[in-house]
């Protein structure tokens, strides 16, 4: 058991953020060639801040469920697409680009709140806008690293 829920930051395309806020995209999918975050680093109840590229919007969500699959094949990617794309909402170009991925992380999102304006993350430890995923270090008593987001909507969109 982990001591605390973790905070993660994911950079996404603006159209995917719109689909999440509209409630049609319920799963965030990350497919990679190598074993890297978020694979095996995200757990139910973790918080996820999804920020559209070029800071064109953001939302804060809670991770409800996680599915990690390793050693995928192109046939496995096809099965993922057929099984989950109605909740992922990825276009054919995404699936073509990821057909040789070996690791998949699927995150079911809940308690979604829009954040406008998007939070400024440049001062967070280890943050780089060139990376699409960031896991913040666990908070310590003398050095908190929790996301401090002011989401104006008290009611989640989904």
| pLDDT per residue as tens digits for the range 71-81 | 999 999 999 99
Question: For residue 135, is it within any domain?
Answer: no
Tell me the whole-structure pTM to 2 decimals.
Answer: 0.85
Phi, psi for residue 17 in degrees, rounded to 5: -65, -45
CA distances from 18 to 8, 50, 69, 102, 113 (A): 19, 11, 27, 28, 12
Q: Is residue 144 part of a domain?
A: no
Give domain status of residue 158, yes or no. Answer: no
| Domain with 65 in it | 7-116
Is 75 a member of any domain?
yes
Does residue 32 form part of some domain? Answer: yes
Is residue 141 domain-resident? no
Q: In terms of pLDDT, which residue wins out, 79 or 118?
A: 79
pLDDT the model gives residue 2: 56
Q: Is residue 138 part of a domain?
A: no
What pLDDT does residue 131 have? Answer: 86
Peptide bond before 117: cis, by omega within 30 degrees of 0? yes
Instruction: Kindly report the CATH number assigned to the domain that includes residue 77.
Output: 2.30.130.30
Residue 76 lies in a domain: yes
Alpha helices in the chain (DSSP H): 14-22, 74-88, 92-97
Into how many domains does the chain fold? 1
Query: SS3 helix, strand, coil % of the chain, rounded to 5?
Result: 20, 30, 50
As a whole number, mean pLDDT of residues 1-7 equals 66
Q: Which of 129 and 72 is assigned the larger pLDDT?
A: 72
């Amino acid at each position: 058991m982990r001591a605390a829920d973790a905070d993660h930051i994911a950079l996404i395309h603006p159209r995917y953020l719109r689909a999440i806020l509209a409630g049609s995209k319920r799963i965030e999918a990350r497919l990679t060639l190598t074993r890297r975050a978020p694979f095996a680093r995200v757990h139910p109840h973790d918080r996820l801040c999804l920020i559209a590229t070029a800071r064109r919007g953001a939302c804060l969500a809670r991770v409800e469920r996680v599915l990690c699959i390793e050693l995928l094949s192109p046939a496995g990617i096809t099965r993922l697409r057929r099984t989950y794309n109605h909740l992922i909402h990825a276009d054919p170009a995404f699936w073509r680009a990821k057909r040789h991925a070996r690791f998949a992380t699927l995150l079911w999102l809940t308690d979604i709140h829009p954040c406008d304006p998007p939070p400024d993350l440049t001062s967070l430890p280890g943050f780089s806008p060139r990376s699409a995923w960031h896991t913040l270090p666990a908070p310590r008593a003398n050095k908190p690293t929790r996301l401090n987001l002011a989401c104006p909507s008290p009611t989640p969109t989904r």
